[in-house]
Copies of this chain bind each other. A is one copy, B any other.
Amino acid sequence: MSTLTLEALPLTAEAFRPYGDVIEVGDRFAVINRGTTRHYPDLAKIDVDAQGGRTRVSLYHVMPYDLPLEVAMLERHPLSSQLFMPLDDAAFLVVVAAKDADTIAPEAVRAFLTNGRQGVNYHAGTWHHPVIALDRETDFLVVDRSGSGRNCDEFHFDEGARITVRLAGR
**Which single member of B36, B38, B55, B60 contacts A65 (CB below 8 Å)?**
B36
Contacting pair A63 B42 (CB below 8 A): no
Interface residues in A, total, Cβ within 8 A: 48
Contacting pair B44 A62 (CB below 8 A): no
Q: Does A3 sit at the interface, judged by CB under 8 A?
A: no
Provide the bound-state CA to CA distance between A153 and B34, in Å.
Answer: 15
Contacting pair B33 A130 (CB below 8 A): yes
Contacts of A40 in B (CB 8 A): 58-61
Known contacts being A25-B61, A87-B85, A143-B143, is A56 close to B37, with CB within 8 Å? no
Which secondary structure characterizes the binding site on chain A? strand
The 9 closest A-B pairs by CB, nearest first: A33-B130, A46-B55, A38-B61, A44-B57, A40-B59, A55-B55, A41-B58, A36-B63, A37-B62
A-side residues, CB < 8 A to B, are 23-25, 29, 32-44, 46, 48-49, 54-63, 65, 83, 85-89, 117, 119, 121, 130-131, 133, 139, 141-143, 146
The 19 listed contacts between A and B (C-beta, < 8 Å) are A23-B59, A25-B59, A29-B61, A35-B63, A36-B130, A37-B63, A38-B61, A38-B62, A39-B60, A40-B59, A43-B58, A46-B55, A48-B55, A55-B55, A85-B85, A87-B89, A88-B88, A117-B139, A141-B141
